[in-house]
Chains A and B, each alone.
Chain A
């Protein structure tokens, strides 16, 4: 049985922030609970105060921005919601695709995108995807608000830039341009993925104008494979050296030996998954060009 704790039900972000500030390290934000309750059950952490932010209205909204250029996602949107949301499926189908493959049906039914990012479990599908995507995150406390790029949010194993009294209040995803296509690949033998790769390719007149490639789950936090990106930028889509780029991504990935597999094995996975993701993204980019 879990050790006793109290659940607080704030009505606003400000109230939640005040509670978090008051209880300090004795408090944790409680949303879907899919990660938090696991560590509490294992006795790895105990929080005498859980601040249930599900009692704050509006934090689960999924909508297009007024300008129509970005998707704005409330942190309490569940993987289930994002997998099914017509807005997501229309404007960011790659996100819906990735969400549909997170963990399993039950985890998706209650697990939230905000909880996934804030927990910073190193095998997060979303952390890898949003790093490549260039998402930005809004954080609010009773004192201030700030916006951080996803790249500056995850700092390490279970560690983010979120301050104890801050709440992630919105995830902003710029809509991809018409010339951009993406793909996501992962490989798992356990419940959580052993390696994750997200690739976004912007192709214009057969030339790769931009590439964003993120590799995750093999080390403490996802990284951008910038050398691989630099190699591909400016190449023609038909003659693109995806195998060499995959090689560079594998070298940059710096995997850890752990229960999922050896560092060498993970490096090999990154090599294979990167090549696959790039091939798939380029296929999609070509398909879109043909349609256009």
Chain B
């Protein structure tokens, strides 16, 4: 079969710079590459999961300059000169982030598939609103679906983490 040359588009490679979990890096990418594939297949960061693939479920959530985005529907091209945070970058060495610790203590997960997205979205919320109402937590997390634990313990875990982060902030402030 003869293929008309005009039908074949070879996308050029692009060089981009970004910061992933605090580390700056350069990468050669194609415009068509999705952020989720880049993180999982090229960087080995498999915390972000592919599930619905249409920006509904939230399992692929990562933070780009602090805002939650669906990595499944984001071009890695968009990460140019941006700062990315995945669940792998949240803990401080062996010490879990207060959100992670609260999720563990409140049993806010069973299978854990939605957890990275839940925690990163909640992290974005607490950066913006350190002391959110339950309604604000629900509003932020509305697009993160859980199909086993339910949402009650998740809400309680976020509230617990908010209290702890605020207490930390206050003790640091007074120290």
Contact = CB atoms under 8 A, between A and B. Distances in A.
B68 A109 contact: yes
Contacts of B55: 34, 38, 103-104, 106-107
B148 interface: no
Given A103-B55, A104-B56, A107-B143, A33 B75 contact: yes
B77 interface: yes
A48 interface: yes
Contacts of B69: 106, 109-110
Contacts of B140: 105
A157 interface: no
Contacts of A105: 68, 121, 124, 139-143
B12 interface: yes
A4 B9 contact: yes
B31 interface: yes
Contacts of B32: 1-5
Interface in A160-207: 191
A135 B55 CA distance: 29
Nearest to B8: A4
B143 A110 contact: no
B75 A37 contact: yes
B10 interface: yes
Contacts of B61: 106
Nearest to A46: B9
B86 interface: no
Contact of A106 (B30, B75, B77, B143): B143
A38 to B, nearest CB: 6
Contacts of B33: 1
B9 A106 contact: no
A116 to B, nearest CB: 14
Contacts of A6: 9, 11-12, 31
B11 A4 contact: yes
A1 to B, nearest CB: 7
A34 B73 contact: yes
Most chain B beta-carbon contacts within 10 A, residue among A5, A7, A48, A106: A106
Interface string A243-270: 0000000000000000000000000000
Interface in B45-82: 53-56, 58, 61, 67-70, 73-75, 77-78
A7 B77 CA distance: 9
A160 B47 CA distance: 40
A242 interface: no
B34 interface: yes
B37 interface: yes
Given A4-B9, A33-B74, 8 more contacts: A2-B32, A3-B32, A6-B11, A33-B73, A105-B140, A106-B68, A109-B67, A191-B54
What are the 9 A-B residue pairs with the smallest beta carbon separation, nearest first? A104-B143, A4-B11, A2-B32, A109-B67, A48-B9, A7-B31, A106-B70, A191-B56, A4-B9
Interface of B: 9-12, 14, 30-34, 37, 53-56, 58, 61, 67-70, 73-75, 77-78, 121, 124, 139-144
17 contacts: A2-B32, A3-B9, A5-B31, A5-B32, A6-B9, A7-B14, A33-B78, A37-B75, A41-B54, A41-B73, A80-B67, A103-B55, A104-B55, A104-B58, A105-B141, A109-B67, A191-B56
